[in-house]
């Protein structure tokens, strides 16, 4: 029986479908690295680089969500001048945008970050940001913020914030 040797494509139907536009061959090295990496910190730079390549972003910031107090702690970043050690507790307007991204369960593009999300804007120093909610079932795990200098490569959806 002949074996199918075609490269499978990743599905675009998941909650982060816009990030899943790469072929499986681009993801397989990351999966292999994950399987053979003893420390997650060794893998994070490659994951950030992959996210930037997939979106056209210029920098990224990975936050871990603390369910006890709602704060987001920056755990790693890429393309940033500085990784702030202080936790981020989004102000009410910022929190509404973050909650909206989690509610939609999809990446959300926010334009005019300096006005709409000033704290996050000061951390990323970009005019736009792509908020990618990270969940485990219904539990918030974290948030990936990808800074953009130009509109995102992904197909824009109703989740976009103008």
Rounded to an integer, the average pLDDT of 128-143 is 90
| 37-62 per-position pLDDT tens digit | 666 667 788 888 888 888 889 999 99
State how far the Cα of 126 lies from the Cα of 146, in Å rounded to an integer: 9
| 75-122 per-position pLDDT tens digit | 889 998 888 888 888 889 898 999 899 888 888 999 999 999 999 998
Measure Cα distances from 111 to 17, 65, 80, 117, 131 in Å.
20, 23, 19, 9, 11
């Amino acid at each position: 029986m002949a074996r199918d040797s075609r490269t499978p494509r990743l599905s675009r139907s998941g909650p982060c479908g816009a990030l899943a536009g790469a072929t499986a061959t681009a993801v397989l090295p990351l999966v292999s690295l994950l399987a053979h990496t003893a420390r997650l910190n060794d893998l994070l730079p490659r994951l950030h680089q992959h996210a930037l390549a997939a979106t056209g972003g210029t920098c990224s910031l990975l936050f871990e969500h603390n369910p006890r107090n709602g704060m987001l702690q920056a755990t790693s970043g890429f393309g940033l001048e500085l990784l702030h050690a202080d936790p981020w507790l989004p102000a009410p307007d910022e929190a509404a945008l973050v909650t909206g991204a989690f509610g939609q369960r999809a990446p959300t593009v926010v334009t005019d970050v300096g006005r709409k999300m000033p704290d996050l804007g000061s951390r990323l120093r970009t005019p736009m940001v792509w908020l990618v909610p990270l969940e485990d079932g219904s539990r918030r795990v974290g948030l990936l913020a990808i800074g953009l200098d130009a509109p995102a490569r992904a197909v824009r959806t109703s989740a976009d914030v103008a």
